[in-house]
Amino acid sequence: MSYSSGIYGTKRFSSDRTGRSTRVISVTSGKGGVGKSTVVANLAVEFEKRGQRVLLFDGDLGMANLDVMFQVKPKFSVQNVISGDVELKDILVEISPSMSLIPGGSGLFELQKLPVHAKQTLLDQVSDLGTIFDVMLIDTAPGIADNVLYLNSAAQEIVVLLTPDPSSLTDAYALIKVLHQRQRETKFSVVCNQVRDEADGQKVFERLQSVAARFLPVTLSYRGAIPSDPHLRQCTRGQEIICRSVPHAESARALSKLTEVLLENGQEQSLEVECKGSLQFFWKQLIGAA
């Protein structure tokens, strides 16, 4: 394990991104055990392969493990920013020259309690970060707790991950329902994980879509399926990134395809006039300043 922080402002991140906003994507689920962290970590690697500068946000307060998957050890967390010990840039953990991690920690609960001047200071720091990264991927906790709802509602694209397990489908529907009722969300991307094949994934999606269409005025968009293969199970047990370790495995190819779909969707969204989704908007929502 190695300590790493304070990478903001170095030459490796010099860019011409002034005026462009960081795209924010949350990966969420109604229940645990569906493979969120694995999917987020691999998507990050695949985005990076395509020249994207990636910021990871570990929003699973109870089971944060992105640092373990990437074999880094955070020295600070959001809590240290709240206490005034360090600035936001100082808690970034460098995973690679174009990928960094924000360790969430319990401090997320206290962000909305910051005094007005402290919120503005934090937003000024966020504004600088927004010119560095192309995409931020959020690994949320499972369920419908307030912090999960806040993280999702601040994202430009909400990716709901589910498996063929009936309870996963039921909980995914509950999450979509609550996000619509309490946060007025109407658009959701859906990815089916741990399926036999693409056809199986399509069937899982259709079951969710059928229920949602009957009771909720929301739009569900199928983004793809990730099959469960022996390589993926082995990498998961060994806390390895399959897109790095076994890039030709069936699940790794599916994750690569999913990345392409998300990139294409992002280009379409960029043509729409909307303020939601930038790094600044995300943090404004998180601290209650929007």
In what side-by-side order are the strands of the sheet with 93-96?
93-96, 99-103, 54-59, 135-140, 23-28, 157-162, 187-195, 219-227
Helices 250-270 & 230-237, crossing angle to 10 degrees? Answer: 80
Nearest to 190 by CA among 217, 225, 214, 216: 225
For the chain, which residues make up each domain, given as ranges?
19-287
Q: What is residue 93's predicted lDDT score, i.e. its pLDDT? A: 94
SS3 275: coil
Please state, as a whole number, how many other Cβ atoms lie within 10 Å of the Cβ of residue 117: 8
Joined tokens for residue 110: 């206290």
Q: What is residue 256's predicted lDDT score, i.e. its pLDDT? A: 98
Nearest to 111 by CA among 77, 67, 137: 77
Domain 19-287: CATH superfamily, name plus number:
P-loop containing nucleotide triphosphate hydrolases (3.40.50.300)
Nearest to 61 by CA among 27, 98, 107: 107
Q: What is the pLDDT along the chain (290 residues), one digit of tens a residue?
A: 333 433 334 334 444 444 567 899 999 999 999 999 999 999 999 999 999 999 998 887 666 688 888 999 899 887 788 778 888 889 999 999 999 998 876 656 677 677 777 777 777 777 767 678 999 999 998 999 887 888 898 889 999 999 999 999 999 999 999 999 999 999 999 999 999 999 999 999 999 999 999 999 999 999 999 999 999 999 988 889 999 999 999 999 999 999 999 999 876 665 554 556 578 788 887 777 55
Contact 103, 77 (CB under 8 A): yes
